[in-house]
Amino acid sequence: MIEIESKFKLSANMTRDKLIAVLENQFVVPISIKHQIDTVFLLPEQVDAPIIPGSKIMRIRDVLDPKTGELQRSFMTLKIERQAKLVSDEYEFAVDSGDMARQMLTVLGWQEVVTVDKVRLESKTEDYTICVDEVAGLGLFIELEVLAEDDANADNIQQQMYSFLKNLNIDGELWKTPYDTSIRNLRKGVS
């Protein structure tokens, strides 16, 4: 399976509540809210290089209760970049200890490169998983996700996603860079 995403960064005048009001009539399941902290690791030879097709990215995601901050679950994910932006092979499973997984990756030679802290509201439409993400240091985003067969036409699916986002008639811009890379670029002074 491959994960195909499209992101849209919302303008400063858009709030999470306003966005939910625009979207809620399309949701087919109730909204869930999660506080996610992603620790992203790269192989040493990738740390100072651009992410290209074939690049491997490891992520440890801690999911916290948004009200209490209590750890609920941790996941380990390997993403292997495909040709198109925001398209990757994804392998994810729950781990008993996010801390132990981070230690294991470090011992194996992976280097921690960035932490992404976000509050995610998630629901589904008929076609997509919709995430409304407030990302620390970056702002408010809407992200569409779909898991597809390996031979799916990712470009076509992303074009459909772009049309869906455009039809929402909200102010903002398409965002073709993953959150972790966006935060790393901010730190380096790259736009």
Q: Which domain holds residue 37?
A: 2-188
Question: 67-105, pLDDT tens digit by residue?
Answer: 999 999 999 999 999 988 888 999 999 999 999 999 999
Query: Could you give the C-alpha distances from 143 to 61, 67, 98, 133, 169, in angstroms and in order?
Result: 17, 23, 25, 7, 15
130: domain CATH number is: 2.40.320.10
Question: 142-151, pLDDT tens digit by residue?
Answer: 999 999 998 9
In sequence order, what DSSP letters do the residues of 99-130 get, joined into one string? HHHHHHHHHTT-EEEEEEEEEEEEEE-SS-EE
Total number of domains constituting the chain: 1
pLDDT bin (cut points 50, 70, 90) of residue 1 is: confident
How far apart (Å, rounded) are the C-alpha atoms in residues 55 and 51? 6
Mean pLDDT of the chain: 94
pLDDT at 180: 94
pLDDT bin (cut points 50, 70, 90) of residue 7 is: very high
User: What does the block give as tokens for 144?
Assistant: 């569409």
Question: 11-54, pLDDT tens digit by residue?
Answer: 999 999 999 999 999 999 999 999 999 999 999 999 999 889 99
Average of per-residue pLDDT across 174-182: 93
pLDDT at 191: 60
What Rg value do the Cα atoms of the chain yield, rounded? 16
Which of 117, 116, 165 is closest to 145 using CA atoms?
165
pLDDT at 67: 95
